[in-house]
Structure 1
Amino acid sequence: MAVPVALIQGASRGLGLAFCKHILKSRTSAAVIATCRSPDGAADLRVLAGQHAGRLTVLKLDVDREEDVREAAARVKESFGRLDLIVNSSAMLHPSGKGETSLRDVSAQGIISTLKTNTVGPLVMAKYFSPILQKGGGGFGQQPAEKSKQHSGVIVNITAKVGSIGDNGLGGWYSYRMSKAALNMATRNLSIELGRSRPKVVCVSLHPGTVNTDLSRQYHKNVPKDKLFDAEQSVSYLMSIIDTLNIEKTGKAYSWDGTELPW
């Protein structure tokens, strides 16, 4: 069987870095491609690459720049020829670092910037990388015996519970909520189109829980300790879900505990 290949978009810190560490440790034969905006400034990622020479490849990719995504896809195709998993993990809460608490805080530029990174970026990733995922060998997820239901690759978009329209009872955080709700729609659309392809690609949105990272740390004071995860713990939960994915689970959003999230 071919070596599984995973690409983690937004791998310099937080969940992305934790995904790299987890896969390198738990899948001793897997190759990992880690992308970030500025590899030269990603000290932790450079250390990890040194520890796993030959297994971890670091690529420069700014998800806000379509030309970066296109060039990275060409390099991956040339060097690896295939992919089994993509995790889109980079995100911003808002350019200011704070979620809007009311309509007074909303600005057009803030919404546009947040949507560009959180929604447009993962969709453009799918545009350029899905043909390479279709050449994968199904190295992640479960493959049913029935050949027509087997998949080649998996796209995971990291969403957030606050992006659920049905679950929204508090309001606020316009840009972030809208960007994640739109990302969920992109995931659903992708699951339909890539579920018709031969071979098929599984597409899901995953909610990591409340994670102790820079993105939302200032809002954690009221979060119960047992519901505040470090990045490694969250990724462990998410990888357990990824390992159970198949084409029948495509096009849905799942929380860290495996429960399905309402759109």
Structure 2
Amino acid sequence: MGAFTQPHARPVSLLMPAGIGIVVAMVLLASVGATTFRDGNVALLLGYLCVWVPLLVAIGVTAFGVGRAAGEQSGAVRRFLRLSIRPIDLVWGIAVGLLTRTAASLIEIGVYGSMGTTGVSFGETVYDLWWLFGALLAPVLLAPLVEELFFRGLVLRAVHSQVVTRGSSGWAGVIAVAVSGLTFALMHLVTIEVGNAQTIVVVGVSTLIFGLAAASISLATGRIGGAIIAHVTFNGLVVVPALLAF
């Protein structure tokens, strides 16, 4: 926890944009999920944008406040979000990604009786820009970056700072990791039908395990580089095998 330094902005000002961002993202995601689109590509794009835009706006608002308080922008924002990757983060990230994906596969086997039921599948393939976006760029690269910036760069830091300010520094790490992991899992459950208990268990537990693991390595290293690599690995181990099957 020594890698954490307190931000210049007040903790409450950090929590507010984070809370608003996640609520808006979940509401928009649920709305898009409940809407029928004639064009699947439009639904795909909106599904990502309704999450990314609120999260990025929350990050931007907070970063502006932190940068203004510090008297600089880029350096203060980068330090606040702990946006850096070192060679050791590749080791941590790949290891955590592999372990959490293995855990997710075991959960699938335990619930469904087989592995891969929640995996990605592709029908008739049209290799165009939409395919590149939906099959590779969005799930394997863009989503991990945006989500880790928010959940491990903003939420984890904001909650940790708030708990420390309230005088409970001994519990700050545990609470911050728990909140970061729980909100991450909750966002991935929004579009799942309430009656689909098996999928709720599989997706909920799998994303919670990953969220807790990613938050833990981010807190331990003081950087989100390892968490980003872990997320890329976690998602890639579902998407890439599905692509190679065609």
Greater strand content = 1
Q: Same fold (TM over 0.5)?
A: no
Q: Tell me which of the two structures has the higher relative contact order, counting C-alpha pairs closer than 8 angstroms and 6 or more residues apart.
A: 2
The TM-score, its normalising length taken from structure 2, stands at 0.30
The TM-score, its normalising length taken from structure 1, stands at 0.29
Greater helix content = 2
